[in-house]
Amino acid sequence: MSTIKVKTGTCLDCTDGKEKPIVSGRCQHHYWKYREEQSEFKRHKRAEMNAFLGKPEPVKKKPKPILKVSDKQMGRLAKYRKVRDEFMKQHPTCQAKLPGCTIKATDTHHAKGKIGDLLTDKRYFKALCRNCHRTVEESPEMAKEKGLSLNRLTTN
């Protein structure tokens, strides 16, 4: 609990004369109303001054959206798609064959991860069906035991 006491008193703008919590002499409602009026007043005065000085009104630029993927990453992903598609043509069946396997490979699992050059390193690709890929991602210990996932820090 806070030890700061709430200041109470009568609001400068209220007509009821009741004691209530106040900030800068105003109740919460009138405080924010006053702040809005002040900011509008300042904007208006600034526009008047700029017009008097002959300054053009600032043009509000539409904010540029932040790209979900950088141009550099887009290039890496384009290269990866080519390598992945070639790999999947060479390996049409699931390499894990875990319980619930559908045999047809649909996903590429990166045994050492996707960081840096590992993204396109075919040595660590595994062609998996969706069910096996989900199992591998949900059970990393089991995947390491079966050799489907490798520690990125070790050299193989």
For 54-109, write each residue's pLDDT tens digit: 888 778 889 989 889 999 999 999 999 999 999 999 999 999 999 999 999 999 99
Q: What is the DSSP letter of 103?
A: S
Longest dimension (CA), the chain: 84
Give the residue-averaged pLDDT of 19-43: 91
Q: Which amino acid is at 83?
A: V
Question: Is 151 a member of any domain?
Answer: no
Q: What is the mean predicted confidence (pLDDT) over 23-29?
A: 90
- Measured CA to CA, the distance from residue 29 to residue 14 in angstroms comes to 10
Number of domains in the chain: 2
Q: Within this chain, do residues 49 and 79 fall inside the same structural domain, yes or no?
A: no
Domain residue limits at 85: 71-145
Same domain, 93 and 131: yes
Above 70 in pLDDT, residue 156?
no
In a domain, 59, yes or no: no
pTM over 0.85? The answer is no
3-class secondary-structure state, position 68? coil
Helix (H) or strand (E) holding 128: strand 125-128
Asked if residues 122 and 89 have their Cβ atoms less than 8 Å apart, the reply is no
Q: Is residue 92 part of a domain?
A: yes
